[in-house]
């Protein structure tokens, strides 16, 4: 490959590879957003924390090959902050794989099935959001202590998600997404939006049940029953719906349940919409446990950490021969590619089979 005078790979050479697409199409926009987020964070954290936040992913190394057609994150200077756009993206990717493995293991070893339950309530103002999330958590605990629920539920994974509506008027996109609601209110595109500047917490839950749940009347809980119990636990009869369905697949690529549980608690477009919106999210979500494992799923998390579920991991068959180091240079990443030594190649390829992407291989 041709190199410039500084001995670095030309951006165009990297950009047209599989690895380059990830760096320039996924990392760079998040790195740009990271700087915006850092400005919002300043008032909330220490100078040391903001410094680490601002420099997150200022460099990283990928194991790859000469053509850069395979990729695996090897090392980086991640900050690990839950409000960092880069770290939340990478954590969501790891959680997706982890949850899929947990579900596959529970299904095969324990012979269980899964429900995907979504619990909602009416939107609230920013001032009410933190208290509303507290109410959600208390109501969830009450729900799963109900006798008929406790009898059939063997464990669960739950994830809090919060969205916000910052459109002053009903847009075409909003109308398509909430058509039934707007039609019921007699609203059309261009009308003032009644949910403007409100926040909508909701809970996605993967519930473990016996196979018999779906054909035993004594075990099955109807959607209407879930709604009635949720209203009672939330002490709010204005709640109009819950969503509950059988999980048809536990495979990462086509399981909405896995993807919903693993994704961000707040979408980037919402979280970084403005400083005022960010402040609301920050004060409501800081120091919260956003994803919770209970019962059988909590037991299997320990098995996962102890390596007892490694046989459920997809075997990594890529062969890595080179190391690409990328360094942030203010507006883009500059990259250098070097060939691995024979010792490195043997060690990294062997260990890459067993270590999750994103963890140090050294």
Question: Taking residues 294-315, what's their average pLDDT?
Answer: 93
Given a cut of 50, whether residue 358 has pLDDT beyond it is no
Question: Taking residues 167-184, what's their average pLDDT?
Answer: 90
In a domain, 185, yes or no: yes
Q: Do 345 and 262 fall within a single domain?
A: no
Closest CA to 138 of 206, 208, 236, 209: 236
If one counts the domains in the chain, the total is 2
pLDDT of residue 354: 59
In a domain, 60, yes or no: yes
Contact by Cβ (8 Å): 211, 112: yes
Q: Do 54 and 152 fall within a single domain?
A: no
In a domain, 308, yes or no: no
DSSP letter string over 271-333? HTS-HHHHHHHHHHHTT---EEEEEHHHHHHHHHHTTTTGGGSPP------EEEEEEE-SSSE
In a domain, 5, yes or no: no
Q: Do 37 and 135 fall within a single domain?
A: no
Tokens at 134, concatenated? 């507290």
Q: What does the alpha-carbon distance between residue 358 and residue 191 come to, in Å, rounded to a whole number?
A: 47
Domain that holds residue 62: 11-82+316-351
Closest CA to 221 of 245, 238, 239: 245
Lowest-confidence segment of 162-171, 217-226, 261-270 by average pLDDT? 261-270
Q: Do 64 and 126 fall within a single domain?
A: no
Given a cut of 50, whether residue 247 has pLDDT beyond it is yes
At which of 267, 286, 305 does a domain end?
A: 286
Q: Do 173 and 257 fall within a single domain?
A: yes
Local confidence band at 262 (pLDDT 50, 70, 90 cut-offs): confident
Q: Do 129 and 48 fall within a single domain?
A: no
Query: pTM for the complete prediction?
Result: 0.88
In a domain, 323, yes or no: yes
Q: Give the residues across from 201 on adjacent strands.
A: 162
In a domain, 293, yes or no: no
Question: 357 φ, ψ to 5°?
Answer: -60, 135
Q: Do 134 and 253 fall within a single domain?
A: yes
In a domain, 358, yes or no: no
Q: Do 116 and 67 fall within a single domain?
A: no
Local confidence band at 344 (pLDDT 50, 70, 90 cut-offs): very high
Average pLDDT, the chain: 90
**Distant-in-sequence, close-in-space partners of 52: CB < 8 Å, separation ≥ 6:** 79, 81
Q: Do 67 and 137 fall within a single domain?
A: no
* Chain centroid offset of residue 218 CA: 35
Lowest-confidence segment of 74-78, 128-132, 294-298, 353-357 by average pLDDT? 353-357
pLDDT above 70 as % of the chain = 94
Q: Do 335 and 222 fall within a single domain?
A: no
**Distant-in-sequence, close-in-space partners of 84: CB < 8 Å, separation ≥ 6:** 34, 37, 53, 56, 78
Q: How far is CA 195 from CA 122, 185, 296, in A?
A: 10, 12, 39
Given a cut of 60, whether residue 2 has pLDDT beyond it is no
Question: Taking residues 182-187, what's their average pLDDT?
Answer: 90
In a domain, 269, yes or no: yes
Given a cut of 60, whether residue 296 has pLDDT beyond it is yes
User: Higher confidence at residue 5 or residue 93?
Assistant: 93
Tokens at 356, concatenated? 């999750």
pLDDT above 90 as % of the chain = 75
Q: Do 252 and 163 fall within a single domain?
A: yes
At which of 286, 303, 324 does a domain end?
A: 286
């Amino acid at each position: 490959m041709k190199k410039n005078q500084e001995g670095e790979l030309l951006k165009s050479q990297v950009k047209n590879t599989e690895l380059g697409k990830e760096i320039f199409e996924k990392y760079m926009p998040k790195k740009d957003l990271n700087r915006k987020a850092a400005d919002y964070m300043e008032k909330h954290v220490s100078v040391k924390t903001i410094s680490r936040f601002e420099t997150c992913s200022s460099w990283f190394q990928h194991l790859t090959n000469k053509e850069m057609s395979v990729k695996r994150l090897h090392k980086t200077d991640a900050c690990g902050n839950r409000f960092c756009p880069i770290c939340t993206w990478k954590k969501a990717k790891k959680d997706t794989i982890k949850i899929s493995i947990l579900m596959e293991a529970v299904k095969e070893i324990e012979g269980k099935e899964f429900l995907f339950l979504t619990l909602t309530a009416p939107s609230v103002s920013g001032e009410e959001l933190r208290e509303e999330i507290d109410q959600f958590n208390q109501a969830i605990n009450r729900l799963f202590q109900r006798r008929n629920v406790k009898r059939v539920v063997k464990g669960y994974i739950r994830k809090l998600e919060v969205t916000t509506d910052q459109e002053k008027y009903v847009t075409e996109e909003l109308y398509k997404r909430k058509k039934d609601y707007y039609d019921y209110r007699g609203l059309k595109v261009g009308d003032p939006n009644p949910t403007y500047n409100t926040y909508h917490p909701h809970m996605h839950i993967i519930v473990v049940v016996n196979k018999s749940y779906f054909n035993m009347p004594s075990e099955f809980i109807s959607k209407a029953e879930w709604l009635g119990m949720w209203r009672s636990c939330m002490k709010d009869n204005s709640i109009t719906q819950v969503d509950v369905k059988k999980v048809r697949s536990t495979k990462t690529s086509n399981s909405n349940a896995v993807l919903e549980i693993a994704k961000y608690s707040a979408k980037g477009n919402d979280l970084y919409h403005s400083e005022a919106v960010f402040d609301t999210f920050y004060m409501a979500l800081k120091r919260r446990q956003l994803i919770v494992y209970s019962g059988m799923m909590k037991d299997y998390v320990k098995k996962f950490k102890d390596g007892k579920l490694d046989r459920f991991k997809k075997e990594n068959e890529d062969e890595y021969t080179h190391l690409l180091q990328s360094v942030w240079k203010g507006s883009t990443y500059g990259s250098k590619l070097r060939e691995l030594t024979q010792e490195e190649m043997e060690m990294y390829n062997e260990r890459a089979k067993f270590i999750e992407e994103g963890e140090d291989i050294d």
